[in-house]
Amino acid sequence: MTKDQAIEQACAIVALAYRSIGAYEHPSDGFCSRCSELQGDSWNYQNDGIGLEYVRLAVVRALKEDGYAINGGFDSITGKEKEQYND
């Protein structure tokens, strides 16, 4: 998988969460090159992170359910990187 393909897949995973939640009052523009091409040059990127946060919490939950310890560089409850968490 190339870098662009990996980014496109990550973008699609966030889109899956966002579109399934259906909270369209929250902006959640995609971040892959495909989304940029669809929006064109006048695109005013907006994303409040609702889809990203849902995916992050789902990953934390799945890791714990599967018996994995949350890596020490991340908050064990929020899944945020510890540097981010302290901002």
pLDDT digits (tens, 9 = 90+) for 8-63: 999 999 999 999 999 889 888 887 788 777 777 766 878 898 999 999 999 999 99
* 87 or 49, which is more confident: 49
Give the pLDDT of residue 47: 85
* 43 or 4, which is more confident: 4
Sign of CA pseudo-dihedral 7, 13, 17, 19: positive
Count of all residues that appear for the chain in the document: 87
Give the pLDDT of residue 27: 86
Query: Model-level pTM?
Result: 0.79
What domain range is 69 assigned to?
A: 3-85
Number of domains in the chain: 1
